Amino acid sequence: MQKIITWNVNSVNVRLERLLGVLARHAPDILCLQELKCVDEGFPHAEVAAAGYQAAVFGQKAYNGVAILSRQPPVEMLRGFADAVDDPAARLLTAWFPGLTVMSAYVPNGQATGTDKYYYKLNWLARLCRYLRRHHSPQDALLLLGDFNVAPADLDVHDPAQWRDKILCSDRERAAFQEVLSFGLVDAFRRLDEAKEGYTWWDYRAGGWSRNHGLRIDLALATVSVADKLMRCYVDLGELEGEKPSDHAPLIVEIS
């Protein structure tokens, strides 16, 4: 069995003790992080190494930043899309392990529909599609995990009427997300349960967590060969308890 986790930590240094707790509690083979909010040199490599992991890091000052932690280093890694677009945002990291390719993605939030950030988000998702088609094959054993900042369906939203046409839920975002799936990926959580609630993010504002006003926006997308080996996919809600949690919960994937 292999256990792979994705978690938007919302600052890896603020959440360091919680990160070490997740590593100890779940003992994952691979852990993808988003929103590090630090440069490469600011990543807590020593503490992570002491826990038995090493980290491939794509950092950035103040914002964004993604990482892939593993017990053994990947054979190869790639930062970003390797395309010609000039974009300083650290939002995508690919790591090739023997028999499995893992991608940690932090899709742009988009702020609000119709804004510049919204169109940047739609373009970013289109770039992700191009990247997948150019650098990967649906025949590969591939897991694309991360914060997609899209709730794929109304089932993934605590109050669909309130969120209708809002950021994270708009038709164009959902269509752009479906284009990513059309590469040859399946939503692991939904593959295992068509109806289950699986919120992974709650707005800090207005007590989102205490009211369970959540959205399912952190996802694990698998190619067919990986999807066929799915055992479990679940949200670690316990991580939200106690002082200073992230506004996202970890999503855990188990494959045979």
Residues at the site binding DNA, with contacts judged by CB under 7 A:
10-11, 13-14, 37-38, 61-64, 108-109, 111, 117, 204-206, 244
Nearer to DNA, 194 or 205 (CB): 205
Least distance between DNA and beta carbon 59 (Å): 11
Contact 53, 29 (CB under 8 A): no
Nearer to DNA, 148 or 189 (CB): 148
Nearer to DNA, 116 or 194 (CB): 116
Please tell me the distance from the alpha carbon of residue 221 to that of residue 189, in angstroms, as a whole number: 9
Report the candidate in 74, 11, 24 with the shortest Cα–Cα distance to residue 51: 24
Contact 157, 215 (CB under 8 A): yes
Nearer to DNA, 97 or 177 (CB): 177
Least distance between DNA and beta carbon 63 (Å): 6
Q: Is the dihedral of CA 208, 158, 245, 143 positive or negative?
A: negative
Least distance between DNA and beta carbon 38 (Å): 7
Least distance between DNA and beta carbon 179 (Å): 21
